Amino acid sequence: MQGSEFRAARKRLGWTQARMAAELDMSPTFIGLMERGERPIERRTALAVRALEIDPGSHLGEP
């Protein structure tokens, strides 16, 4: 997943960088860095984003 795809997924969800950061247990700053391609997007992060797109209410960190 590239930064532009990551940003597009966030926007499809209708979320701010802060909300995406909270859902992925990351900082909003790091979300911005990934969106701009300044930090790599790990496979597990890309998979989590795709899962959230399928079921935005899934809250991956909760049982």
Residue 61 clears pLDDT 70, i.e. is over it = no
Give the domain CATH number at 17. 1.10.260.40
In a domain, 61, yes or no: no
Report the pLDDT averaged over residues 6-25: 94
Q: What predicted TM-score, i.e. pTM, was given to this entire model? A: 0.81
User: 59 lies in a domain?
Assistant: no
pLDDT digit string, tens, across residues 18-56: 999 999 999 999 999 999 999 999 999 999 999 988 877
Structural domain range at position 7: 3-54
d(CA 28, CA 30): 5
Structural domain total, the chain: 1
Helix residue spans in 14-42 (DSSP H): 17-24, 28-35
Helix extents (H) in the chain: 3-13, 17-24, 28-35, 43-54
pLDDT at 55: 73
Q: Which residues of 25-34 are buried (b: 16+ CB within 10 A; e: fewer)?
A: ebeeeebbbb
Query: Is residue 63 in some structural domain?
Result: no
pLDDT band at 59 (very low <50, low <70, confident <90, very high): low
